[in-house]
Structure 1
Amino acid sequence: MSSPVISVSRLKRSFKSGTGEVTVLKDISLTVSQGEFVAVMGASGSGKSTLLNVLGGLLSPDEGSVVVDGRDIGSMSDAALTVYRRDRVGFIFQMFNLVGTLSVEENILLPSLAGGRRVSAAALDAMIERVGLSHRRHAMPDTLSGGEQQR
């Protein structure tokens, strides 16, 4: 049996609130195997986004361990987390965070350019086609629908 892709053990994450502290995640454990599909569901304020932000390396755990692809992301340096987020994690935020002065194509290429990697024309074409935006590849973000911006 292969190792899990994601292994979370006894995760705790809190935030300061006024003069106190609010614990959003308490004693969370989770294992995800390769090929498994997981949906995170819950009421507003239940910690879904916080959990995903910890898994994505955007927030660090207060307690517990978070291991992704065999690497404990809770103990990574800022530089290692930057590489992890750039190369291993994809997020679709509620606010799309597209660069308004860049076209669809340029926004897609931005992470690769920031990482110093070249994307072939064929790979770019395949990415744009896969998300159904071939006809919009030169459009600016403010001309896209919400669904197009997410894609």
Structure 2
Amino acid sequence: MGYPILLTLHLLAALMFVGTVFFEVLILESVRKHVPEDAMRAVERAIGQRARRLMPWVILVLFGAGIGMAWERYLQLLAAPLESSFGTLLALKILLAVSVLGHFVTAMLLFASGGMTARRSHFIHISVFCHVLAIVLLAKGMFYLSW
């Protein structure tokens, strides 16, 4: 599969994932104050069920395309990431992405085992939000920052 296709798939999956995280943290949290608790639980349950069905596929495309892009274009650069600003920022972006994947797997396991609490969910959402924000800034910075 060619780099332009991998890049397009990666960007579309990133839009879906980042958009979902931003929606949940920045919009859904503030809606909570204005919606009755039972209605909010129903909305969160419905969104959660849909996200748990859709997000594994989004994550698969996101990471699959990212790995494909790294393999096709950036393998040598990643062999010595500290030798260039681009390589350093890309390696940091990958490290944060792996951490997000860890958060995602942890959340899925907690949901499956019944161990997900509101407090854990809130912590995971805020942590993933911060990671994703940093990843987006690094993705842009890779092309505009140099030292």
Q: TM above 0.5, one fold? A: no
The normalised TM-score by structure 1 is: 0.25
Point out which structure has higher relative CO (alpha carbons under 8 A, 6+ apart). 2
TM-score of the two chains, using structure 2 as the length reference: 0.26
More strand by share: 1
Larger Rg: 1
The structure with the greater share of residues assigned to helix is: 2
